[in-house]
Structure 1
Amino acid sequence: MIESKISLRKATVEDAEKLFEIQRKVFEPLYEKYEDHETTPVNQTFERFKERLKTGDYFKITLENLLVGSVHVYPKSPGVMRFHMINILDEFQGKGIAQQVMMRLEGLHPEANRWELDTIQEEKRNCYLYEKMGYVQTDEKWKVNDKMTIVHYVKTTRLNHMPCL
């Protein structure tokens, strides 16, 4: 089973260059496809990238000890966690890695009763994955340009019950 071969390890500043390179590789095709010059991680500076390593939890994703991607999660507010970015190298996509990583991270944060993420509406594979995992698209949308819209997803992980009177 692939999930037993996937590891999450906290990233450090020493990992920054390699993880920055992976982020660029993952987002380069999307940058070319959608021509998003303003918000693309491809144009992010290395200094800004390194700052993100200090916010929340940034993990290296390995498959059989091979670095295949990264993921950044952080608390947005009490009880609300946010997947900021999930990067899986193209040759490892479609193997269930992102799904396993998300399930593990959700399990690591039992205090969270809500998870959030954003993705490109036009990337149907991403939308399908998130919806399959219980995320629901909200009405929050942000049109980046004529080719690309960012959509917001939310997943409630446990119900807040009102006490019986």
Structure 2
Amino acid sequence: MIQSKISLIKATAEDAKELFELQKKVFTPMYEKYEDHETTPVKQTFERFKERLKLGDYFKISLGNSLVGSVHVYPKSAGVMRLHMINILDEFQGKGIAQQVMMRLESLYPEAKRWELHTILEEKRNCYLYEKMGYVQTDEKWKVNDKMTLVHYVKTSRLNHMPCL
């Protein structure tokens, strides 16, 4: 079972270069598709990336002994966590890794009553994943360019509401 082989390992400053390169590799296809020169992680400087490692928690995602992605989360305010970025290498997408990572993150931060994230509206697979995981799209949207819109999602803690039957 793939889920039992997934590990979240807290990243350190020593991991910065490897994770920076992974981020570029994961986001390059979207950069080329949407031509987003302003907000893309591909254009982020290494110095800015290293600063982000100090904000909240940055985890390496491993499957067995292989690095397959990373995820960055941080507290936005009391009881509110932001899922800032989840990166899964293309060859490992569609295997349930992101779902497993998101469930594990929720268990690591039981104090979070609400989770928030932004994603690309045009990336239907991402929107489907987040909605499947209980996130709800809000009315907050930002048009980056003619090809790309960012959308805001929120999820409230399972303790705050009953699941739909």
> TM-score range with shorter-chain normalisation?
over 0.9
For residue 3 of structure 1, what is the amino acid of its counterpart? Q
Runs (4+) of structure 1 moved beyond 6 Å?
none
Q: Distance in 2 between matches of 1:89 and 1:150?
A: 21
Question: In the TM superposition, what is the alpha-carbon distance from 1:143 to its structure 2 partner?
Answer: 0.2
Q: TM-score, normalised by structure 2?
A: 0.96
> Equivalences for 1:58-97 in 2 at 5 Å?
58-97=58-97
Q: TM-score, normalised by structure 1?
A: 0.96
> Equivalences for 1:142-157 in 2 at 5 Å?
142-157=142-157
> How many residues are paired up?
160
Q: Distance in 1 between matches of 2:106 and 2:71?
A: 12
Q: Give % identity.
A: 84
Question: In the TM superposition, what is the alpha-carbon distance from 1:159 to its structure 2 partner?
Answer: 1.8
> Equivalences for 1:2-151 in 2 at 5 Å?
2-151=2-151
Q: Which residues of structure 1 form unaligned runs of 5+?
A: 161-165
Question: In the TM superposition, what is the alpha-carbon distance from 1:140 to its structure 2 partner?
Answer: 0.3
For residue 159 of structure 1, what is the amino acid of its counterpart? N
CA RMSD in angstroms, aligned pairs only: 0.8
Q: Which residues of structure 2 form unaligned runs of 5+?
A: none
For residue 101 of structure 1, what is the amino acid of its counterpart? V
For residue 40 of structure 2, what is the amino acid of its counterpart? T
Between structure 1 and structure 2, the one with the greater Rg is 1
| Residue aligned with 2:160, SS | coil
Question: In the TM superposition, what is the alpha-carbon distance from 1:65 to its structure 2 partner?
Answer: 1.4
